[in-house]
Amino acid sequence: MTRRIPWLTSVAIALLATAGSGAQSAPTQPARQPIPTQIDPTRLNTTNLQTLQAQPVRTATPADPVAVTVNWDQARVDARVAAANNAQNFRPEVGLARQVRVFPIPRNLDPVSLAETEVPILVPTYAALGFSREPVTLIFPRGDFYTLSITGEGVLVEVFCTRLAHAEPNTAISARRIRGNGPEGYRTEQTEYGREVSFTRYGIAYSITIECDDPEGDSRCSAPQYGRGLMDSLQILPGSRGSVGGP
């Protein structure tokens, strides 16, 4: 799959570089699998952040982001509801292993890095992904943000989240870009290689990018329904903060 180079990847690369010497290095990608794109946090809709929490004392700037407070109470409520729904829909004839795995589990999962990541790690479900075979799933948790990469059947789906609020440049273009619909500031945009969905949840910014082998002919990229379905299906990955117990 041809990969794009985002026009503002420098910020995300800088975040990875400063994530800390103790952070786990990303494993070597499987043969012929695309390397996950690091989505630029400055392109995410951060205008609705901190609606449920007190505003930070320090003001965010493009070069000096502020780590906002996550609404962990709501994250835990959502995790409990999802767990109850999954248990209620259990069908013995399908098999326990498949029922427990409502969404793909990253093959490079590290419980320590997962638990130390300061944002709820959300994963789309198998049902929303619509794959007939197990996809290649990788995760890269980095403290204040994470990237999840899911590859299969002609499409690459990436989920990115950050709790770092960046100041938006005061321009007409940025003003149009940050507009969203609904309580989560939902926004979907067509891209050269597919589609991008941005929204806020738990007081922080999330983004889903979809890249298709055939961006114009594949409805997963040419129409907004697939991306919206992925967003609506997101559930908290077990083992990450907010999945059980306290923050």
Structural domain spans, the chain: 43-54+61-71+102-236
Report which of 189, 235, 197, 192 is spatially closest to residue 211, judged by C-alpha positions. Answer: 192
- Check: CB of residue 212 under 8 Å from CB of residue 155: yes
Look up residue 138 and give its amino acid: L
User: Which pTM was predicted?
Assistant: 0.69
Q: Which residues pair with 66 in a beta bridge?
A: 165
Encode the chain (247 residues) as per-residue pLDDT tens digits.
544 444 333 333 333 344 443 434 444 444 444 444 444 544 555 555 444 444 445 565 556 778 889 999 999 999 999 888 877 655 554 444 444 579 999 999 999 988 889 999 999 999 999 999 999 999 999 889 999 999 999 999 999 999 988 665 555 444 444 444 567 889 999 999 999 999 999 999 999 999 999 999 999 999 999 999 999 999 999 888 888 755 5
Length of the chain: 247
pLDDT of residue 218: 97
Give the contacts of 169 (CB within 8 A, at least 6 positions apart).
62
Q: Residue 50 carries which DSSP code?
A: T
Give the contacts of 16 (CB within 8 A, at least 6 positions apart).
38, 142
Collapsed DSSP state (helix, strand, coil) of residue 209: strand
Give the contacts of 157 (CB within 8 A, at least 6 positions apart).
124, 129, 149, 150, 151, 208, 209, 210, 230
Please report the sign of the dihedral spanned by the C-alpha atoms of residue 1, residue 139, residue 24, residue 29.
Answer: negative
C-alpha to C-alpha distance for 40 and 169, rounded to whole angstroms: 14
Report which of 226, 228, 183 is spatially closest to residue 202, judged by C-alpha positions. Answer: 183
